[in-house]
A and B are shown apart, each in its own frame.
Chain A
């Protein structure tokens, strides 16, 4: 594990070396499409609420070893989302109400940004980056903007209640207003925030209890909504960010998080039975042709009880799915056969970031 870590550091140093030579701007450079092959994956585990046991693991492809946890137990309470922007890893930690900015080279924390309103926590949820800035939805009904040079919150703007997913396209931020803690009165809107003025310009109606948002390569935003867990089902929708027109994804049912890699949207869904047992379904959707991709994501009959997150290696296209019952990560090859499982990445793995 230690060897894996030092090798990882060498890779990071090389990468940083490259970045330093390309980065002299005020803000971090807008990441381009450098043909950098990932050497592993950062794995964010949420931990249980109130237990300060969220962490970040790194699974190194070459040695197939997992380092738990690169933060040595100090990340805090309930990690929620994690993105790479520039040379840094941004991690929103909901319970601790901070955004932890981690240097990719040293894998140490550069800054812990408190996300507070005076004494009171704002509760950062999901993260998005756009044009040199990092944005986070916060549970007190706002979106915050982080300056990536000073690593501090430079602006706050109001959106709907208990916002969840956030994504950016065409100079606009889209934020899912869930009103999730006011069950059963869920919201069904997205707030549209103009990035230039950083104010909400309108709300568009989507499926009930919107959850997760992501942008594809064509500037369309995809959305999953959870429904009311009862008679109103979950599902997915596409938002054309030029017209803000919303269309449903035919035959796709999922209210969970998803990932878009090379024009393919990978999703999963958890079905809850009356006896409390669960089962999972998976699918792929081509965002270019706007059609479901035929075939099975898992072909070898591997049974995952309660999937919690999905990630796809942009190079090998291996699919990573985390199960929370028990806590385990399954890695499937493109043939849908499970080739590896990881049990050392902590509880409630909620995000994969390949690097």
Chain B
């Protein structure tokens, strides 16, 4: 069906592929003018945070492993403008929300290829461990990377999890890493990585990981409006997963670059649910399987034309059981499949001006075993982007066409929606000698209702309008090396305004079990993100890195003046939040300290004391000792999380763990 409908685009894709293999490779200089950033490792195709005309935050590989973060979600918390909705524990759901737009606006890409969930539209970051992750890149708006798939442009912001790159050191043909972690609440987490350069063209990498944790951490829960608390222990929060990944990288003599991945993830976990007063029982379990195959290939066709293409097939199955009532066992199966195909061609018209055309076709379906539903969606995204680079300024503009059409076997479907989303970004370097850039962008994002929004209610609300968000951003970046001691000093500050219309809101339908989704919300955001990074080389063997972020967000409900929540801060949105980490490297020991602060917020969208959630500060410490011998090294780590045992909740009635410990040892060759 997908192929038939979009047959017209296939010749285009095919031409791109054919022409690629026959033309010789051209070494082209990267036309992005970057200020030299020492110590920051940036993936070649990604523009630098300094020159990007939209905020770009990077956790480079060297730093990521030193912060002590174990999951992607833990590391993402250190980005500015980002909220991680964390339901607590290793197995708890963790979703990312960029600038208080819901998780549905925040794309997640795994090695440049999107991760999908057609039921909820939200990606659970708890399933991505950091062991094999090289770097994390968070973009808000568009970065000016013309070879991105159109999907990335259709998101308000995107998190790219980078796990592999081209083989760096041809001298070393084999790589091996064996890792073992253990810690509080029964954590056992071994992983193994093997990499091999097969020949001059291909390299292969394998990664396998297992994790087990009973997750039964103690916590204190606030009881009522007073300060009294209940001391309890989390129940039914055990988690077990297996993850396997095989990667292949090809670096062809004609300049073509290939990367392919096969991924399988299997988890079995208890869903502890929210902690209810007077009722500790939880009988929900989920077995979750995800498998995908993906590949991307990029190449220069001529000196002025290059392209990138990627494809993915994803399958996921969820086996959900609820043993809540003794005689009412409830078991349900859900299945999803997605097919993704992308082709982006870039043409450099002149030294300054380049244009690209990205086309993505996505077909996804969803079914379950109990109500005979089978929903499918075709999404066709096409983005035309132009970029003009002048020594003083960089101007980027794009126009994205987003087309969606659903089919529903059991009944009527959400039909034929299309939308044009414009983007315009400008980055100016006013003075040649001063490393300051000023950036501004406008971006429109269109968010289609998910299958969950549309079909999971007994009466599908098929005339729902997609959400529409307009972002305006103005920012400043400064990045320089201040002498030999301060090797990097970088600062960025952005102010922004976002309006969301037709916000999708779910309301119970006469009973708490049946929900209907409605289209009435409107919000207005004014925010400020600040980022500071300082790297210092103190003397030989001693170095330090300090990173700090601050986020201010005023996200107001503008739906209806008669509504009690009118002009009140959106639920789960702190006005003030801040993060910091300090890495100290000494010849004997590396020490890392982390700090996360979240100010007061409410959980009901109403600024009343009974709906307030207390501010919290979560601090952590991480010690690391590396022993090197020839080509081998052993890394010992010891961590203390939530150092001061702060009891807090990110999501109402989902307590977070208090103080806990982790120990690890890693062998690297």
Contacts and interface: CB of A to CB of B under 8 A. Distances in A.
A140 interface: yes
A121 B512 contact: no
Interface in A260-296: 270, 272-278
Interface stretch (B177-185, B295-303, B459-467, B492-500): B459-467
Contacts of A343: 564
Contacts, number: 163
B396 to A, nearest CB: 36
Nearest to B274: A50
A316 B563 CA distance: 28
Contacts of A112: 278
Nearest to B371: A184
A215 B355 CA distance: 74
B511 interface: yes
Interface in A139-182: 139-141, 161-162, 180-181
Which secondary structure dominates chain B's binding surface? loop
Given A275-B461, A275-B519, A73 B326 contact: no
A235 B458 CA distance: 17
Interface stretch (B103-111, B221-229, B381-389): B221-229
A169 B277 CA distance: 34
B399 interface: no
Interface in B190-219: none
Interface stretch (A13-21, A92-100, A189-197, A241-249): A92-100
Contacts of B327: 140-141
Interface in B525-564: 560, 562-564
A73 B510 contact: no
A275 B464 contact: yes
Interface in B207-266: 223-226
B652 A51 contact: yes
A181 B324 CA distance: 12
A192 B237 CA distance: 40
B330 interface: yes
Interface string B449-479: 0000000011101111100000000000000
A230 B458 contact: yes
Nearest to B504: A276
A51 B653 contact: yes
B510 A256 contact: yes
Interface string B507-530: 111111110111110000000000
Given A50-B273, A51-B274, A123 B325 contact: yes
A139 B325 contact: yes
B135 interface: no
B510 A226 contact: yes
B486 interface: no
A230 B459 contact: yes
B569 to A, nearest CB: 16
Nearest to A226: B510
B653 A120 contact: no
Contacts of A230: 458-459
Interface string A220-238: 0000001011100000000
B589 interface: no
Contacts of A141: 325, 327-328
A71 B273 contact: no
Contacts of A211: 510-511
A98 B278 contact: yes
Contacts of A256: 510
B315 interface: no
Nearest to A54: B277
A307 to B, nearest CB: 9
A272 B461 contact: yes
A75 B276 CA distance: 10
B458 A183 contact: yes
Nearest to B654: A50
Interface string B320-332: 0001111110100
Contact of A328 (B276, B464, B516, B564): B564
B562 A326 contact: yes
Contacts of A121: 279, 281, 324-325
Contacts of B371: 183-184
A92 B470 CA distance: 45
A98 B278 CA distance: 7
A276 B463 contact: yes
A325 interface: yes
A275 B463 contact: yes
Contacts of A255: 510
A328 B560 CA distance: 13
Contacts of A275: 461, 463-465, 519
Interface in A94-112: 94-98, 112
Contacts of B511: 180, 211
Nearest to A96: B278
A6 interface: no
Interface in A1-51: 46, 48-51
B603 interface: yes
A46 B463 CA distance: 29
Given A97-B278, A184-B458, A327-B564, A276 B604 contact: no
B83 to A, nearest CB: 18
B565 interface: yes
A78 B371 CA distance: 27
Contact of A76 (B276, B328, B463, B611): B276
Nearest to A348: B508
B112 interface: no
B330 A181 contact: yes
Contacts of B512: 46, 48-49, 78, 94, 348
A244 to B, nearest CB: 26
Interface in A111-138: 112, 114, 116-123
B435 interface: no
A350 B100 CA distance: 31
Given A46-B512, A162-B328, A347-B604, A228 B276 contact: no
Interface string A198-240: 0000000000000100000000000000101110000000000
Given A121-B324, A181-B330, A327-B564, A52 B277 contact: yes
Given A272-B509, A326-B563, A77 B279 contact: yes
B610 interface: yes
A324 interface: yes
Interface in A35-85: 46, 48-53, 68-69, 71-78
A112 B276 CA distance: 14
A277 B560 CA distance: 15
A352 interface: no
B283 interface: yes
A71 B277 CA distance: 13
A141, A162, A211, A326: which has the most chain B beta carbons within 10 Å?
A326
A95 B276 contact: yes
The residue in B325, B461, B518 that gathers the most chain A C-beta atoms within 10 A of its C-beta is B325
Interface string B273-316: 11011111101000000000000000000000000000000000
Given A96-B276, A98-B279, A278-B518, A140 B461 contact: no
Interface in B305-360: 323-328, 330
B501 to A, nearest CB: 15
Nearest to A227: B458
Contact of B514 (A77, A229, A326, A327): A229
Contacts of B653: 50-52, 77
Complex A-B, nearest 8 residue pairs according to Cβ-Cβ distance, in ascending order: A73-B224, A275-B463, A50-B274, A229-B458, A140-B325, A74-B224, A326-B563, A276-B461
29 contacts: A48-B604, A49-B512, A51-B652, A51-B653, A53-B610, A69-B610, A74-B223, A93-B278, A95-B279, A119-B280, A120-B281, A121-B325, A122-B325, A140-B326, A180-B511, A181-B330, A229-B457, A229-B514, A230-B459, A270-B509, A272-B516, A275-B519, A276-B461, A276-B463, A276-B519, A277-B518, A325-B507, A326-B565, A348-B512
Interface of B: 223-226, 273-274, 276-281, 283, 323-328, 330, 371, 457-459, 461-465, 507-514, 516-520, 560, 562-565, 603-604, 610-611, 652-653
